[in-house]
Structure 1
Amino acid sequence: MDAPCWSALLSGWRAGDSPLYGQLAEALRVGIRSGQLSPAAVLPAERALAGLLGISRSTVVAAYDALADGGWITRKRGSGTRVAATAPRGADVLALRTPSALGLREDEFDFTIAVPLLNDSQRGELREAAHDAFQESLYYPHGLPELRALLAEMYTREGLPTTPEMVLITSGAQGAISLLANVFLRPRDRVLLETPTYFGAIDAFRAAGAEAVGVPVTAQGVLPDAFAQAAQQHSPRLAFLTPTFQNPTGTVMPTRAREKIAAAVAEARLPTIEDDTLIDLGFGAEAPPRISTFAPDAPIFNVGSLSKLYWAGLRLGWLRVPAAHAGPVGQARTLSDFGSSLPGQHIALKLLQDLPRLRQQRREAVTPARDLLAALLRLHLPEWRFSVPDGGQFLWVELPTRQASAFTLTAARHGVRLFPGAAMGVDALPDSFVRLPFTLDPARLPEAVLRLKAAWDEFEARQGGERLA
């Protein structure tokens, strides 16, 4: 059973006062109607699903009986339980790994998405930056010229020669990643990714019909030899790397490794996305140069964003495109829409003119939250293991269980939303990790960790104290 997938699909299944079997049956009906469970899709075995959800096997049996009576599923000894071919459904829909904050209650804590918190000073700054945002009514499919020029200057100043024509403005980093997926990938192509990695990239490449191939992330990030070997063995059409404060592990690839990967990309002419969205979130020493600086003409595409540095609501990202690829990628950008929001681009132009200050403010906001979350976890959940990263916005936490996906459902009943780390794996990962962002309001972190502690105590009691370490 793909536990992370099923925990995501059934994350909100307890939503009512009806008997548990009825709530479970309805959640599965919703999955079928929405197209997330297609005809002939195999449902988990009764005992496995009961273990994941923390309920009795008889409850799952009753739910399956209700679905079978209604013609939603078929049950046959030897071939398992499947969605019926005649069951109503919508168009096929990917079971997205990307979490959603829809329906979040005020008393819930959401650790699934990491976004900066705006303070009153920043709200005022945004209003001031928007002063000239409504002066024109033009289309700029590739982005506001002044903003492209500013970003080109930033890349050049940081060691990567760039002209404004090599910069495209997108609707967030996700828009840039999806754009490149549409340009380079066709169904059944292979794409090379770190594992674990950013779930939005996994979803974008799956939506393009590509087959994901994973290269393990170590304490030094992806190892160059492993990357080069995988590229040679699998002949991918695209690669995706986050060398600086990797999402979710927080690792930083050393300078020498970046040089070697740049050389491998240049030799293979392998289009490679270098995700820079967390590059500004260092807490100490400066990060090494971008991979692309060691091979400026190689097909390395740098993705940046204001979502992690300042505010996700701007939906403002950008893409540095090697000159040789500017034509086709620029055309694809124009075909996707006629340009990102002009007010957002004008605001970004004003903000990015003072980039060092933005970086310093973000460090000052995030560092205390990181340290507080780490201290609270060590106090209340000392058996959870993690390293405090030098940048980024996540703790990659290993739990003493092989059923972290099931624990996320227990935590949800305590009002804490978590995302199972195994869902961030390209290949099968041990189901022992969760990603905890330290972007919540620090004033709320003590209560959030106390709820995690209560959920963990309940989960351990139900599991009979099974442990790994």
Structure 2
Amino acid sequence: MTATGSPATDAPRWAALLSGWRDGEGTLQTRLTHSLEQAVGSGHLAPGERLPAERPLAALLGISRSTVVAAYDDLAAGGWVTRRVGSGTHVAATAPRQASVLTLRTPLATQGSEGELDFTIAVPLLGDAQRARMQAAAVDAFRESVYHPHGLPELRALLAGLYTHDGLPTTPEQVIVTSGAQQAISLLAGTLLRRGDTALLETPTYFGAIDVFRALGAELRGVPVGPGGMNPDTFVQLARDHGPRLAFLTPTFQNPTGTVLPARARERLAAFIAETRLPTIEDDTLIDLSFTGTPLPPRLAAYAPGAPIVNVGSLSKLYWAGLRVGWMRLPAALAQPTLQAKTLADFGGSLPAQHVALKLLEELPGLRRERRESVTHARDLLAGLLRTHLPEWEFRVPEGGQFLWVELPSAEASRFTHLAARFGVRLFPGASMGVAPLPDRFLRLPFTLDPARLPDAVARLHAAWAEFQARPGQERLA
């Protein structure tokens, strides 16, 4: 299922599709032509799909309309598109292409230019002390050569004990170890959703979940997230109206807003999920990143232990994304099909990684403390720099997680991401995290960049914003 549209209606999609169009050699016209050829050839643009009108695309990319016109002419001459006055520019039916693929919301790591600062992906920094700890934890990593499709037994038992300690009674048999939280989400969605089913998510929400559900052909419905989190009454009403087959929620330090759903709202949601038997994924991947000593509300699943709520966790945000160890805690009703799906997927994850994870999680309180100290410093530094140099950008400092959800005084955040790239800063348009159309005014800024580089990053953002404001809506010279 490939979305269509133009920058006027789907700017985040085109911003993502053409995010690296300036890379390479040649004139801007040549680079844009090549990038669009790649989009067609890779299957991102389907036969018959309409390309944006020249003027809106030029505004989005920060180039002149004549450059876009010339690129479209090149595409037409090469047989990639057809152009007709009154009907616009469309991908030619005979254009070379592969199978149709999604334009992912998920930012992909690319080989950026030297000195580029990346605000699109949030991963913890790995220092010498963390590397030494992992080396020490790997002492038993190579002691056996067997398959554990559902995870290393000792690690499953430890995770079950952690859930039980936190007020959610769990047995080792209810735990599956996965290759990161993303695999857990993908396995659950693939098990529970069929093409045409409805999935209910917060909006905005984690782009990886959006992509997984879209790839399965699900119809997505969004429950708005406000300053206090999601309204449970809105969730209930939408669920009754649309009959979803799966829900995806992040009650604690919601990605990207950082909100924490209050206990009373969790209780209301859990009761509804238990009553309707609506399978629900509770994303816990940020639950360990609290910056205060204030106790968090119990997990959603703790209010209804028998409800079909699956808890998903990971070490990627707490320690290191490269370890690729995640897990899910399954209720009895969903255990059998999910256990089978995991076995069919890979016969089990990396045993060395799981042995390292086992040793690390035995020191979980210390890991939380160290991560809290490092992230709190970076959060406060980034927030202070933004307030000093970009005071018109609005945000709330979260009490946990790893993002600032920034609102710009502009409805063209996607266009600004392209301009910022020219100043060496990669940004992610927040509208890409909307399930339903989201105002194109937001940026998700993680505070996981090296603190030593944050002053330079904000200085570049300030310079890009000054140019953006000085020439609003004007065409750039090619």
Q: Does 1:413 align with 2:459?
A: no
Query: How far apart are the structure 2 equivalents of 1:149 and 1:16?
Result: 50
Task: Report what 1:235 is aligned to.
Answer: 243
Task: Report what 1:343 is aligned to.
Answer: 352
Query: How far apart are the structure 1 equivalents of 2:308 and 2:220?
Result: 19
Shift of 1:17: 4.2
2:295 paired residue among 286, 305, 312: 286
TM-score relative to the length of structure 2: 0.96
Query: How far apart are the structure 2 equivalents of 1:193 and 1:78?
Result: 38
- Where 2:191 maps in the other structure, the secondary structure is helix
Task: Report what 1:423 is aligned to.
Answer: 432
Task: Report what 1:263 is aligned to.
Answer: 271
Change (3 A) 1:390 1:427: same
Q: Does 1:9 align with 2:17?
A: yes
**Are 1:246 and 1:392, in contact at CA under 8 Å, matched by a contact in 2?**
yes
Query: How far apart are the structure 1 equivalents of 2:223 and 2:128?
Result: 42
**Are 1:398 and 1:432, in contact at CA under 8 Å, matched by a contact in 2?**
yes
Q: Where in structure 2 are the equivalents of 1:202-351 lying within 5 Å?
A: 202-284=210-292, 285-351=294-360
Query: How far apart are the structure 1 equivalents of 2:347 and 2:250?
Result: 29
Query: How far apart are the structure 1 equivalents of 2:114 and 2:81?
Result: 36
- Percent identical pairs in the alignment equals 69
Letter paired with 2:145: S
- Where 1:130 maps in the other structure, the secondary structure is helix
**Are 1:46 and 1:61, in contact at CA under 8 Å, matched by a contact in 2?**
yes
Query: How far apart are the structure 2 equivalents of 1:464 and 1:227?
Result: 38
Shift of 1:23: 1.2
Shift of 1:464: 6.3
**Are 2:105 and 2:207, in contact at CA under 8 Å, matched by a contact in 1?**
yes
- Where 1:447 maps in the other structure, the secondary structure is helix
Shift of 1:36: 0.7
Q: Does 1:436 align with 2:409?
A: no
Query: How far apart are the structure 2 equivalents of 1:17 and 1:254?
Result: 52
**Are 1:240 and 1:272, in contact at CA under 8 Å, matched by a contact in 2?**
yes
Gaps of 5+ in 2: 1-5
- Where 1:37 maps in the other structure, the secondary structure is coil
**Are 1:192 and 1:238, in contact at CA under 8 Å, matched by a contact in 2?**
yes
Gaps of 5+ in 1: none
**Alignment deviations for residues 84-119 of structure 1 (CA, whole Å, 9 cap, x no partner):** 000001111110111012212340100000000011
Q: Where in structure 2 are the equivalents of 1:7-406 lying within 5 Å?
A: 7-284=15-292, 285-406=294-415
Query: How far apart are the structure 2 equivalents of 1:47 and 1:464?
Result: 10
Letter paired with 1:387: R
**Are 1:420 and 1:431, in contact at CA under 8 Å, matched by a contact in 2?**
yes
Query: How far apart are the structure 2 equivalents of 1:333 and 1:173?
Result: 13
Letter paired with 1:191: A
TM-score relative to the length of structure 1: 0.98
**Are 1:421 and 1:433, in contact at CA under 8 Å, matched by a contact in 2?**
yes
Deviates more, 1:70-79 or 1:30-39: 70-79
**Alignment deviations for residues 277-335 of structure 1 (CA, whole Å, 9 cap, x no partner):** 00000001121110000000100000000000000000000000001221111011101
Q: How many residues align?
A: 465
**Are 1:101 and 1:110, in contact at CA under 8 Å, matched by a contact in 2?**
no
Letter paired with 1:323: A
Task: Report what 2:3 is aligned to.
Answer: none
- Where 1:131 maps in the other structure, the secondary structure is helix
Letter paired with 1:90: Q
**Alignment deviations for residues 337-382 of structure 1 (CA, whole Å, 9 cap, x no partner):** 1001000100010010111111001001100000000000011101
**Alignment deviations for residues 115-148 of structure 1 (CA, whole Å, 9 cap, x no partner):** 0001111100000000110000010000000100
**Are 2:227 and 2:259, in contact at CA under 8 Å, matched by a contact in 1?**
yes
Query: How far apart are the structure 1 equivalents of 2:70 and 2:470?
Result: 25
Query: How far apart are the structure 1 equivalents of 2:465 and 2:318?
Result: 32
- Where 1:430 maps in the other structure, the secondary structure is coil
Letter paired with 1:187: R
Letter paired with 1:65: D
**Are 2:315 and 2:323, in contact at CA under 8 Å, matched by a contact in 1?**
yes
**Are 2:177 and 2:326, in contact at CA under 8 Å, matched by a contact in 1?**
yes
**Are 2:126 and 2:320, in contact at CA under 8 Å, matched by a contact in 1?**
yes
Deviates more, 1:288-297 or 1:78-87: 78-87
Shift of 1:220: 1.5
Measured on the aligned residues, the alpha-carbon RMSD in Å equals 1.0
Shift of 1:394: 0.1
Query: How far apart are the structure 2 equivalents of 1:250 and 1:360?
Result: 19
Query: How far apart are the structure 1 equivalents of 2:22 and 2:341?
Result: 43
- Where 1:244 maps in the other structure, the secondary structure is coil
Shift of 1:19: 2.1
Shift of 1:398: 0.4
- Where 2:471 maps in the other structure, the secondary structure is helix
Letter paired with 2:152: L
Task: Report what 2:464 is aligned to.
Answer: 455
- Where 1:452 maps in the other structure, the secondary structure is helix
Query: How far apart are the structure 1 equivalents of 2:311 and 2:114?
Result: 37
**Are 2:59 and 2:473, in contact at CA under 8 Å, matched by a contact in 1?**
no
